[in-house]
Structure 1
């Protein structure tokens, strides 16, 4: 995509190739084949997809007030904000996926082809969601200056690509378990992922193409198409504990390093606390029992920041609150929360301590063995699928029970949080707590007005999407929910798209002339499905 070859250099290469064809290649090494090995290349695509996704995920998490740090926390962005994921997707992930598809087709290794097509469909859907128009038809091959394709056109192509992948799986499906990080070569789970991706994309376009969205979702539901319906089927990237090479969750690496990763979001903290939500102890870890906002000494440890606060950071690396055990594999917070009362049923002080222990009021560092880093990156999950179906029931008349789907969605995510905590030296959420909290949410939903139902649904989804700010960013632009906190000091208007890489705009001949206009439009122009 980026290579521009000099004619003279190309002629030299052609001459050398033709001249050497008559001789035996004494440098040929049968132990190092020139053809790519699909079983090695496929997991490389999955690692790079997850790795570069973290760059856009950080932006979405900042804009959506899951964090209170980063430039987009003040709605500010530049041409370097997303240059790493843009470059990584186009120079690593996408070329490797195209290679798997091309070589796998030649070898009739249809399982590898199908998985690569589904990864490609997922990745491009996310790229359209955050950037809008992106190179697609000219992204692969020798196009030095690829044109931008319209986001709506790409979405149409992706629906067809997903169907191609499903057809490929039905030809044959043999993928080595060790070559598939996501599903260990499980055909049924990839089928569920494919249909769930279609469900997500149909819901995404429900405002721009309501007829297609409604028909697509109803067809999936009425046909009994396999969807992600259990947490074990989640399309989730799981990190490990290895330090060298580093296999740990990037948030853990950042937040549990000596310089810390940023600030927790006070709107998120306050929402969880005010809602008697047990997830507060899993999402946030407090280093100090008395610190408050602005590093004061009159709080209870939840020292984060309000959105849009651009003040310089004081010497607070050892006092500010940190990301907890979910989703990054940090620490569970078992410290006493002083302001809780008897009215708090699900977020309570049962078993909590007021002293410094391995899970309370300490200064944690990864180098000291605090936490594990074995977190997760939730991409499409059982919980998300249930939330989408609940939204579709409210907005497209699918006939499903929105209240029960909401309850199932919250149950699924609470269970994921509990499972991750249990496998990372944390405390699991009691089954009675999950059931009681979910019943409370369901009761509130049933009693709410139609507007209130949608607000409660999307607020619960925003909480559950902690760890995937991109999907929350998508939801907010589609629904205007949840209600975000006012920014202390915004630097721009709310970003409707992410900025392009400045390198792309200054090197792509199709964009250079209008690059400033193109870039500024990213802030203020909706993506095609945002009506």
Structure 2
């Protein structure tokens, strides 16, 4: 029964998350447990509701962060038009109307001495705290104190992002303390977490949740440049440092009644072909560097992209830009097409959709459970590959190694940074390679050997060692980008924090507007709350972003 319930909750999550950028708050109102009074609420259902909302938030921030940093495809020539008040509607509503209310209700229920809901309260606070950190990272000043007191403040005011950041970190620490106390009691009594609890991330393993909490605090520390706190957590050695402790959500492969597949898979592996585009910048960089992860990340349906060497005359029907001249500001960058059948779109390309659904490159076996690319160049279909049984990465051990490399670079320790880059790449590639087994049609003959992988990592580290400081930051950032594929929320933070890589493909529009330093407030909140006014533009920088302002030509970051 327990596993069945987890399956059902996974289905609800997967079925609610097909898109990350155009969300509507109506989706949040289905079976809303917050309409129940505390005495009616099932604490385990409330916990699953928190987990559902947390995973959907991860999809939202991963998707939008990745699109802006060229890890994913961004489809608008104007940044202001491409990021609207609706972009974060879902994440805002899930956090405030969903997670915050659910966690407060769990705390109220836990006051009953006959109940022990410390696992629900502890994990709930960790997930709520992380979601609030994301909201500050992407938006800036948001409600907090007044949001916890809706009776007195039905229309809460925003407060400065720095204070909300501290409050969110305190929530994570409180959740960790609650779980620690529970774990101590269970150890003394040789007991287990209540078997009715349904933990969709760590299967009720408190030790893994404690590592996740500390790692979320590491994320906050590296974001704000607090290396003292970051290094103190490292010294305590209780964070996500092994792939087995990765914070991720696992999808299933069920197609109907209900659909619990990875949302990218569900969009790309259809009877009508693929419906998403992949980033030309990322595919080109991985192809040029012979990255051993490329065939896991991307599945090519065609062996030839119009305009490439195989078809230099182009094809206006399937790829109109293959007949066009690159804009002047694209000098030195790939434009429109790539070699070897990689068929995606450039940053900002807002052309209509041609009949290329069975030609474009689609999501692969990692992280979305699709096909491993054996260069067979076949068309996608429902159920192909891993059937969608992929993951939503949230914080992986490989990400943490790259955070430690950044901290080393900031401290002037290039040798230490090289070691952590090597460790991060080793973990990332090893994890990605395990996904090859999801595709039963993969015979393994085209998968990279240990020698190929080892040489790739050695070459990256050697290039890093030989580069000047700007080159080191670029190599670091480019490899960090590739590693973040599928879980790229932190790429947006890093890009505004350090400004690298400076090698990113620009927007197709020569003047796309300033690079967004923060997102608009959720339009649903603007309509409902007279105390919050919409931002005039996306130039407002969040509290930890102290770099120079952006501009369409130059400014910060350099790759606009």
| The two structures share one fold, judged by TM-score above 0.5 | yes
Larger Rg: 1
Pairing partner for 2:163 from 153, 161, 165? 153
Match of 1:256 in 2: 269
Matched, 1:215 2:228: yes
Q: How does 1:101-250 map to 2 (within 5 A)?
A: 101-106=107-112, 107-140=115-148, 141-142=150-151, 143-173=153-183, 174-176=192-194, 179-206=198-225, 213-222=226-235, 224-243=236-255, 244-250=257-263
| Cα distance in 1 for residues equivalent to 2:262 and 2:128 | 23
Q: Which residue of 1 aligns with 2:329?
A: none
Q: Which residue of 2 aligns with 1:417?
A: 432
**For the structure 1 residues 92 and 66, does the alpha-carbon distance in structure 2 shift closer, same or farther, using more than 3 Å as the test?**
same
Show the counterpart of 1:334: 374
Structure 1 contact 393–401 (Cα < 8 Å) conserved: yes
TM-score normalised to structure 2 length: 0.77
Compute the TM-score of the two structures, normalised by the length of structure 1: 0.81
Counterpart pick for 1:468 among 464, 484, 487:
487
Aligned in 2, Cα 1:118/1:73: closer, same or farther, shift over 3 Å? farther
On the 8 A contact 1:303/1:319 being kept in 2, the answer is yes
CA shift at 1:477, angstroms? 0.9
After superposition, the C-alpha distances for 1:432-481 in whole angstroms (9 at most, x for unaligned) are: 33322212212222222223222211111111101123211111111111
Change (3 A) 1:121 1:313: same
Contact 1:390–1:400 (Cα < 8 Å) also in 2 = no
The equivalent position to 1:303 in structure 2, one of 325, 333, 343, is 343
Match of 1:351 in 2: none
Corresponding residue of 1:348: none
Q: Go from structure 1 to structure 2 and tell me whether the alpha carbon gap of 1:61 and 1:72 turns closer, same or farther (over 3 Å shift).
A: farther
Alpha carbons 1:62, 1:71 under 8 Å: kept: no
Query: Match for 2:519 among 498, 504, 512?
Result: 498
Query: What secondary structure does 1:216 align onto?
Result: helix
CA contact (8 A) 2:126 2:213 kept: yes
**Cα–Cα, structure 1 residues 262 and 46, in superposed 2: closer, same or farther, change >3 Å?**
same
Supply the distance in 2 between the matched residues of 1:421 and 1:100 (Cα, whole angstroms). 40
User: SS at 2:222's partner residue?
Assistant: helix
Provide Cα deviations, 1:252-283, integer angstroms capped at 9, x if missing partner. Answer: 11122336333211111110011111111111
Distance 1:247 1:138, change over 3 A: farther
Kindly state the Cα deviation for residue 69 of structure 1 after the two structures are TM-superposed: 4.1
Q: Quote the Cα distance in structure 2 between the aligned partners of 1:135 and 1:203.
A: 23
Q: Distance in 2 between matches of 1:291 and 1:90?
A: 45
Output the CA distance in 2 between the equivalents of 1:120 and 1:135.
Answer: 14
**What is the CA–CA distance in structure 2 between the aligned matches of 1:102 and 1:71, rounded to whole Å?**
45
8 Å contact kept, 1:241–1:247: yes
Q: Which residue of 2 aligns with 1:487?
A: 507
Is structure 2 residue 539 aligned with structure 1 residue 524?
yes
What is the CA deviation profile of residues 36-95 of structure 1, one whole-angstrom value per residue up to 9, with x for unaligned ones?
333332223112211243233322222111222444885622222222232233222332
Residues 72 and 150 of structure 1: CA distance in aligned 2, closer, same or farther (over 3 Å):
farther
Q: For 1:274 and 1:259, locate their aligned partners in 2 and report how far apart those are by CA, in whole Å.
A: 27
Other structure's SS at 1:325 match? coil
Say which of 55, 58, 83 aligns to 2:60.
55
For the 8 Å contact 2:54–2:128, the answer to whether it is kept is no
Which ranges of structure 1 fall in alignment gaps of 5 or more residues? Answer: 1-31, 207-212, 336-359
Alignment partner of 2:389 out of 374, 386, 408: 374
| Equivalent residues of 2:38, 2:109 under 8 A apart | no
Shift of 1:429: 4.5
Contact 2:57-2:131 at 8 Å conserved across structures:
no
Take 1:468 and 1:251, find their aligned partners in 2: how far apart are those partners?
13
**CA separation of 1:320 and 1:409: change in aligned 2, threshold 3 A:** same
Distance 1:433 1:38 in 2: 50
Contact 1:59 1:72 in 2 (8 A): no
Does residue 275 of structure 1 match 2:296? no
Cα distance between partner residues in 1 of 2:78 and 2:107: 38
- Matched-pair contact (CA < 8 Å) for 1:264–1:304: yes
Distance 1:409 1:474 in 2: 19
Does the CA contact (< 8 Å) of 1:252 and 1:329 recur in 2?
A: yes
Query: In the alignment, is the contact (CA less than 8 A) between 1:68 and 1:307 conserved in 2?
Result: yes
Q: Is the 8 A contact 1:65 1:307 kept in 2?
A: yes
Worse-superposed segment, 259-268 or 396-405: 396-405
Provide the secondary structure at the position in 1 that maps to 2:394.
strand
Question: How far apart, CA to CA, are the structure 1 residues paired with 2:412 and 2:171?
Answer: 27
Residue 172 of structure 1 aligns to a residue in which SS? helix
Q: From the superposition, tell whether residues 437 and 98 of structure 1 become closer, same or farther in structure 2 (CA, over 3 Å).
A: farther
Q: CA distance change for structure 1 residues 94 and 246 in 2, over 3 Å: closer, same or farther?
A: farther
Give 1:163 deviation, angstroms: 2.4
Query: Does the 8 Å contact 1:73/1:307 carry over to 2?
Result: no
Unaligned stretches of 5+ in structure 2? Answer: 1-36, 184-191, 308-315, 323-336, 547-560
Cα distance in 1 for residues equivalent to 2:404 and 2:50? 30
Runs of 4+ in 1 over 6 A off after TM superposition: none
Give, in whole Å, the separation in 2 of the partners of 1:527 and 1:128. Answer: 7
In structure 1, C-alpha distance between the alignment counterparts of 2:474 and 2:193, rounded to whole Å: 43
Please give the secondary structure, in 1, of the residue aligned with 2:147: coil
What's the CA shift string for 1:213-262, capped at 9, x where partnerless? 1221222233x230111101001111111222221111111122336333
Whether the 8 Å CA contact 2:77–2:349 is kept in 1: the answer is: no
